[in-house]
Structure 1
Amino acid sequence: MTGTLITVAATGAEADKGRVPALPVTLDELTETAAQCRRAGAAVIHVHIRDDDAKPTLDVGRLKDTVAALRAATDLVVQLSTGGAVTDGFDARLAVLDAAPDACSLTCGTVNFGDDVFANPWGFVKDLYLLTKERSVVPEFELFDFGHIAALHRLLGEFGPPAGGHVHCDLVMGVPGGMPGDAATLVAAVQALPGGATWSATGIGRTTLPVLFGALSAGGHLRVGMEDTLTYSRGRPVTGNAELVQRAADLASLAQRPPMTPAQAREFLGIGPPA
């Protein structure tokens, strides 16, 4: 593949709708955002959902409705977050797969997350990985630090390749408590990945652009969105997810690696046709 996989992480579990009016939190807002981002160049949508009060939730009924609505509105690969919010329990995070998404995130270790702790002990990581294999849901391995890369090697060594047969990772960089979002760290992390793995990179907050440029120059792929940054440039808030996708798509095209279509992304990631 010579194209660039662009994933949009549209909502997340941290930002407050009251302070960020452009954040998509209702089902209608999310499906409209998905359609806009598809037109701008996204192939995958990474999904967190909110309840009627715009608070993060892992309600399985809502997740099923969200997956169905996104599939009806677009041909994007639907990737559900199994991270949820830092307060979500392990059983609720495993139950995310009951919504039968195309793909899911799978974070490979615990990390300090600002003032909080994002807990992913080995037992949970193992259980989630085995469940993805059982349900034929393709995982994206979320790596916040170098210890997570070591855990990924262990996971693959003990339990074999994932559903779909291809290992694709997302380097999450710039989280306070995780690895920094700079070029030197990105290169070192890529060199430590399992052989044959592909990767995207996510720069949180002010590391968004350094990580984006570094990933393109090193042959990687991109995740952007309002889960990861709320500022388009210094002093200018993001007006919507689509403008972050459009910037990533424009830069990928400038790098002679234009955005993949969702169909190309499915082939690349080892995901079958949409249900």
Structure 2
Amino acid sequence: MNDEVIITCALTGAGDTVGKSEHVPVTPEQIADSAIEAANAGAAVVHIHVRDVETGQGSRDVALYREVVRRVRESGVDVVVNLTAGMGGDLVLDDEDPLKPVDGTDLVNARDRLPHVEELLPDICTLDCGSLNFGEGHQLYVSTPDMLRVGARRVQELGVKPELEIFDTGNLWFATKLVEEGLIDAPPLFQLCMGIPYGAPPNPQLLQVMVDMLPAGAQWASFAIGRNQLPWVAESVLRGGHVRVGLEDNLYLSKGVKATNGQLVERAVRIVEDLGATVASPDTARRILGLKGAA
């Protein structure tokens, strides 16, 4: 069991959830306010995507990231900033001509996924450690081994901590190679992502297999999407990990009751403390993860 638990709140994501809950933040102001709400509720880390203000769809616009991060930093609320660097990996194929990408494709190289990280220098940014059949239809998420090596090397040069997002055991296998190749500074940070079609299913036995595959000295967290999110908080803590909640992964506090990010964090805090563990402060999280500015 983990006695000192870092809670991350994934605020909004890039999925098609805006029309499903009025609580999903869209504008930079809403996303920043949600980050502050989550931090005040007990989250040590906020994981940030941005959305196009007009359409609500996920975006890579550096100006949007800039405004969110500025608002969070100027608020005076202490929280570790974690920016996604996974946008730019979407490939949607044509049914008749699979060599022709169609609407929904947003596929760029590894360096072009990082301009907001290069400018804003967050504490943490994500690296999605493999390609994936992303749900039904013809959508793929593309992140090749050499793309990941280029991205990891650049993030390392910037002094930003990469969060290695793991969607299946093959992703984990490769991520450990990045560690072995010296492209990830100690301690490596893994996020074990469960239940995303068609990656690793939310199976506790599979989670333990993945935990057993982690390199020595690794820090790790895990989450599951949808109705499994809150039970997975306990699952992760009991197996020695940190946790993630938030509207990116789940819209509900209980059946039929839509949540805010702050409410999901509050529930996670209660679960962690009911298990007898301590919720880590931002400073404690910085120390555990080996971040810049750690006391």
Could you tell me how far apart the structure 2 residues matched to 1:137 and 1:104 are? 7
Q: What is the identity percentage for the equivalent residue pairs of Structure 1 and Structure 2?
A: 34
Letter of the 2:84 partner, please give it: S
Which residue among 138, 144, 154 is the counterpart of 1:121? Answer: 144
Kindly indicate whether residue 66 of structure 2 is the aligned counterpart of residue 56 of structure 1. Answer: no
- Matched position secondary structure for 1:18: helix
Kindly indicate whether residue 74 of structure 2 is the aligned counterpart of residue 72 of structure 1. Answer: yes
Name the residue aligned to 2:44.
43
Deviation of 1:12 (Å): 0.2
Could you tell me how far apart the structure 2 residues matched to 1:32 and 1:268 are? 26
Aligned 1:1-150 pairs, distance under 5 A = 2-53=3-54, 54-73=56-75, 74-84=77-87, 86=90, 87-88=105-106, 89-90=108-109, 91-98=111-118, 99-115=120-136, 116-150=139-173
Could you tell me how far apart the structure 2 residues matched to 1:161 and 1:241 are? 30
State the Cα deviation string for residues 201-232 of structure 1 (Å, max 9, x = none): 11011321342221111111101000001122
Larger radius of gyration, structure 1 or 2? 2
Letter of the 1:112 partner, please give it: N
What is the aligned residue count? 271
Could you tell me how far apart the structure 2 residues matched to 1:257 and 1:102 are? 25
Q: Is the 8 A contact 1:10 1:227 kept in 2?
A: yes
Q: Is the 8 A contact 2:165 2:190 kept in 1?
A: yes
State the Cα deviation string for residues 244-266 of structure 1 (Å, max 9, x = none): 11111111111121211111111
TM-score in terms of structure 2 length: 0.87
Q: Is the 8 A contact 2:44 2:79 kept in 1?
A: yes
- Larger displacement relative to structure 2 (208-217 or 74-83): 208-217
Name the residue aligned to 1:265.
285
Deviation of 1:160 (Å): 4.4
Q: Is the 8 A contact 2:51 2:59 kept in 1?
A: yes
Name the residue aligned to 2:176.
153
Superposed CA RMSD in Å reads: 1.7
Could you tell me how far apart the structure 2 residues matched to 1:16 and 1:199 are? 27
Letter of the 2:86 partner, please give it: G
TM-score in terms of structure 1 length: 0.93
Deviation of 1:138 (Å): 0.5
Could you tell me how far apart the structure 1 residues matched to 2:210 and 2:231 are? 15
Could you tell me how far apart the structure 2 residues matched to 1:266 and 1:52 are? 32
